[in-house]
A and B are shown apart, each in its own frame.
Chain A
Amino acid sequence: MLVLSRKKDQSIMIGDDIEITVLAIEGDQIKLGINAPRSVEIQRKEIFLAIKEENASAASTSVDLLKQLTGTFLSQEDKK
């Protein structure tokens, strides 16, 4: 991993069209500003990891369980 030290209001460039600026440093929180082309997806890593993990558990459903789920769904609908 490349490690760079930056102060408030200093930036780094990734390629020639992505700029990340340190906007504020408050205790253990750093506020970053990101300038990037609209086609570049930016997201918090913990959200990405949560979705990845959820996909892995979602993929492990068994056929029997799914049949039970549809059964429960239908009985709930009947009560409405």
Chain B
Amino acid sequence: MKINTKYLGEVEINEEKIIEFENGIPSFLEEKKFILLPFDESTPFYILQSITTSELGFVVVSPFHFFPDYQVKLSDATIEALTIENEEDVAVFVILTVQEPFTNTTANLQGPVVINSKVQKGKQISLNDPNYQTKHLLMPQAVGKEG
């Protein structure tokens, strides 16, 4: 099927790749179907695009590239909700808040998006770890050099 996207115009998607967010995403509780689209080949950025609302797309990234020590502990409630059986099926992304200047762009490490890729179910969880907040600079080494 074809969908309209916020960042990539009209794209053809495989319906089997649609990820179900049973409870929506906080602030967007009615949005229950998303798809992950690579922004381009050369960067690790993905768009978590709503299937139903073309203007709703989040910029997400695999956190481990930028935050090698990042740890996500899944609660029993999450494991149950996403019917997770194997750790290898789980993909973790964090949502970016892109800022101008873009060196101020932050990643939300407190609320990662967890996807069970085996059954295409996703959920934004919240971590209780005091080390993680909603705004962590994505590229701290770039601050002050540009923008």
Contact = CB atoms under 8 A, between A and B. Distances in A.
Contact of A38 (B77, B110, B139, B141): B77
Report whether over half of chain B's contact residues are helix, strand or loop; otherwise say mixed: loop
Contact of B142 (A38, A56, A61, A72): A72
Lowest 3 CB-CB distances: which A-B pairs, in order? A51-B111, A52-B26, A38-B76
Contact of A66 (B27, B42, B98, B103): B98
A57 B97 contact: yes
Interface of B: 6-7, 25-28, 39-40, 42-45, 56-59, 75-78, 80-81, 95-100, 102-103, 105, 108, 110-111, 124, 126, 128, 133-135, 139, 141-142, 146-147
Report whether over half of chain A's contact residues are helix, strand or loop; otherwise say mixed: helix
Interface stretch (A13-21, A22-30, A39-47): A39-47
Interface in A50-64: 50-59, 61, 63
Contacts of A51: 26, 108, 110-111, 124, 126, 134
Interface residues of A, number: 29
A66 B39 contact: yes
B95 A58 contact: yes
B108 A63 contact: no
B128 A43 contact: yes
A65 interface: yes
A54 B135 contact: yes
Given A61-B97, A66-B59, A73 B139 contact: yes
